[in-house]
Structure 1
Amino acid sequence: MPEFDYPRKSGMPVLGIGTWQNEDPAQCAQSVQTALDMGYRHVDTAQIYGNEDAVGDGIEQADVARDDVFLATKIWTSELSHDDVLESFEESLDKLGTDYVDLLYVHWPANEYDAADTLSAFDELYDEGKIEHIGVSNFEPRHLDEAREVLDAPLFANQVELHPFLPQTELREYADEHDIELVGYSPLARGEVFDDDTIAEVAEKHDASAAQVALAWAREKGVTTIPKATSEAHIRDNWESLGVSLDPEDVEKIDGIDRLEREVDPDFAPWN
C-alpha cells in the first residue's frame, strides 16, 4: 500500500469514507474497518442512513484509536426541534459507541428546522464537549448567513453535493470568504464521472482512474470529499487519489466540462 501524506484542513482529513446507502450492517462495518486500517481517518454517516450502529462497529474493529478518527454524523429533519436534537443525538452516540463526535451536521434546512431553536441545541452540545465542531448540510448562502448569526460557536463546515458537473462555485467562494470548510458528497456524481471523456483524458495522462481524477480535482478546489465505497478495491482506488496531482491545465479542462447535473434533488431541498 502506498504511503501518502494525508492532508488535513482545520483538523479534518480532506478525504473520508462515506456511508450513504451502505445499509447492510456487516458490509458497512467491514467497509469502515477496511478504510481505517488502510489509512483513512475521516468517517461520515447520518441518522437517516440507518447504519450508525454498523459504523460504530467498524470503528471499534479497526486497529485505530477512536481519538484518531474524525467522526461525523447528521441530525435528520424530523429531529431538528431543540429537544429532539438533544434526545436523538444521545441515541446516535449510543449507536456509534462513543461519547462525542468530531462534527455534527444539520442534515437539511427543512421540515422541523428553525435556525434559532435547532442551533441552540447544537451550541449546547458544543459547550458540553459532546461535539467538537458544528456543521450544516445542503445550506444555501442565505441559510449560512442566518446560521452564523444565530450560533455562538463557530460554524465549521457545510456539506453539499459537489463534483465536476456541480462545482458549487458560489458556495466555494462563500466558504473561502467566511472560513468555513466545504465538504463534498457524491464527489463521483454517483458514477457519472466514469463516462465523461474529459475526465477520461486527464485520467489517462496521469495513469489514474476517473474517480481519482475527480477527487484530486475537488482537492485542488479546497474541498474535502467523502466518497462512498464498499469494496476494498474501490476504497483503495479512492485512497490512492491522494497520490494524484493535477496541474492547472488539467483543472482548467475539467472546469470547462459543459454539463450541469445535480444527482440529489429532493422536493424539500432549499433550492426548489
Structure 2
Amino acid sequence: MKAMYNRRELIKLSLLGGIGLSFHPYLETFSASSKILTRAIPITGELLPVVGLGTWQTFDVESSKQQHAVLSQVLTEMHRLGGTVIDSSPMYGSSEKVVGGLTSKLKFKDDLFYATKVWTSGREVGIRQMEASIAKMRRKKMDLIQIHNLVDWKTHVKTLREWKDQQKIRYWGITHYVDSSHSTLEKIIKAERPDFVQFNYSIRSRHAENSLFDTARKHKTATIINQPYESGSLFRLVRGKQLPQWAKEQDINSWGQYFLKFILSNEVVTCVIPGTSKPHHMIDNMGAGHGKMPNVKLRNRMISYIKSL
C-alpha cells in the first residue's frame, strides 16, 4: 500500500486542514510501503490496526458542509492508511451523530470498527442511551460498547453481557482516563473479564506500567489508550524544538509519532486513539503504525530525552 501525494492533493489537504504546506513537510514525503501494524483482540484473535481515532471535542461540530467535508477527509485518510477504530461516547456532544452521518456516506463504512460508551446511571436509562447511540452511529450492531468512566458499572456490566449473548454487540469494555482509577479497573478486569479496557498512558504518564498492563495481559483483555498527548501538554513541551536525528533514523518523523510510537512499543497496547479534526494530523498519526517500533533501549532513550527538556 502506498500513500504518496501529488501537489494538487497536498493543496487540497492543506485547504481542508486550514494550513499551509510548509507547516507539515512530512506530508510531502510520507509513504506507507507496508501494511499498518495490527494486534489481536486476545479473546477472539481478531486483528485491529494499532492506531485509531478518538472523537472527543473533534467531532462535536455544527452541521456545516465545510466542517463535515474536513471530518470526512479525516475518516478517509484513516481508512486509506489502514485504520479502522473510531471511538465515541454520548458524553461527546454531537460526535456520535456526526460519525454516523459521515460514515453512512462512505463506501468503506462497513470496514470500520465502531466503539462507543454508556454514560449514565440505571438499567433502563442505560439501555435507552445505548440504543440511541447505536441509532446515531447508524449501526445495526455495535462493535464495542464501554462503560464510560465506570459510571454505574455494576448495573451496565449485566446489560452488556446480555447484549453480547444476544449479539447486539460484539465486545464490551470499561474505561477511565486518570491514574487513580487504575486499581479499580484492575479489580473489575479480574472479577468480570471485560473484552476491552480503555485508559490513559503516555511517555510521561506511565502509571499503567505498574500493574494494569500486566493484569490486562493475564486476563486477555484488549487495551485502548486514551490521552496519548496528555491533552496537548506534550506538544507544548516540545514547541519550537527539533526532533532529534536519532529518532528520525528509527522511522519517527514527527513529535506526534514520537509520542505514539513510544506507546505502541508496549506490546500489550492493542490500539491508541488520538483525536483530531485535521486530515494532515490524521495522516501523521497513522504513520506511527508503520515502520520500526522502539525497542527497550530506544524507549529508555526517548524517556530520558523528554525528561531533559
Q: TM-score range by the shorter chain?
A: 0.7 to 0.9
Structure 1 residues 192 and 148, CA, compared in 2 at 3 Å: closer, same or farther?
Answer: same
Matched, 1:216 2:261: yes
Larger radius of gyration: 2
Kept in 1, the 8 Å contact 2:189–2:221? The answer is no
- 1:24-43 equivalences under 5 Å are 24-25=61-62, 26=68, 27-43=70-86
Q: Deviations over 1:26-55 (max 9, x none)?
A: 254443344234432111111111210111
Partner SS for 2:288: helix
Between 1:184-193 and 1:125-134, the stretch displaced more is: 184-193
1:119 aligns to what? Answer: 157
Name the counterpart of 1:128: 166
In structure 2, do the counterparts of structure 1 residues 114 and 208 end up closer, same or farther at CA, with 3 Å as the change threshold? closer
Q: Does 1:140 align with 2:182?
A: yes
**Identity of paired residues, percent?**
20
Distance of aligned partners of 1:143 and 1:191 in 2 relative to their CA distance in 1, 3 Å threshold:
closer
Equivalent positions of 1:28-177 (< 5 A) are: 28-50=71-93, 51-66=95-110, 68-76=111-119, 79-110=120-151, 113-115=152-154, 117-138=155-176, 139-146=181-188, 148-149=190-191, 151=192, 154-167=193-206, 168-169=208-209, 170-177=211-218
Q: How has the CA–CA distance of structure 1 residues 190 and 244 changed in structure 2, closer, same or farther, with 3 Å as cutoff? A: farther
More contact order relative to length (CA 8 Å, sep ≥ 6): 2
Output the amino acid matched with 1:54: V
Rounded to whole Å, the distance in 1 between the matches of 2:276 and 2:184 is 32
Q: Which amino acid aligns with 1:44?
A: D
- SS in structure 2 opposite 1:253? helix
Q: In the alignment, which of 274, 279, 282 is matched to residue 232 of structure 1?
A: 279
After superposition, the Cα gap between the structure-2 partners of 1:81 and 1:29, relative to the gap in structure 1 and judged at 3 Å, is farther
Question: Matched residue of 2:149: which SS?
Answer: coil
Shift of 1:13: 2.5
Q: Deviations over 1:69-122 (max 9, x none)?
A: 11100111xx23221221111100110001111111101124xx141x221111
Alpha carbons of structure 1 residues 4 and 141: separation in structure 2 relative to 1, 3 Å: farther
Q: CA deviation at 1:147?
A: 5.6
CA distance in 2, matches of 1:101, 1:144: 25
Q: Secondary structure at the match of 1:200?
A: coil
For structure 1, the residue ranges without an aligned partner over 5 or more in a row are 260-272
Q: What's the counterpart of residue 254 of structure 1?
A: 302
Change (3 A) 1:159 1:143: closer
Which AA in structure 2 matches 1:43? I
Paired with 1:210 and 1:258, the residues of 2 have a C-alpha distance of 11
Which is further off, 192-201 or 139-148?
A: 192-201
**Separation in structure 2 between the aligned mates of residue 74 and residue 190 of structure 1, nearest angstrom:** 20
Query: How far does residue 241 in structure 1 lie from its aligned partner after superposition?
Result: 1.1
| In 2: Cα distance, 1:40 partner to 1:143 partner | 27
Q: Specify the code of the residue in structure 2 equivalent to 1:248.
A: V
Partner-residue secondary structure (3-state), 2:215: helix
Equivalent pairs, count: 250
Confirm or deny: 8 A CA contact 2:71 2:278 kept in the other structure.
Answer: no
Give the corresponding residue for 1:8: 39
Kindly provide the amino acid, as one letter, of the partner of residue 18 in structure 1: G
Matching residue's letter, 1:82: R
Output the CA distance in 2 between the equivalents of 1:254 and 1:21. Answer: 29
Q: Letter of the 1:165 partner, please give it.
A: R
Deviation at 1:181, TM superposition (A): 1.6
Gaps of 5+ in 2: 4-31, 63-67
**Helix, strand or coil: the match of 1:155?**
coil
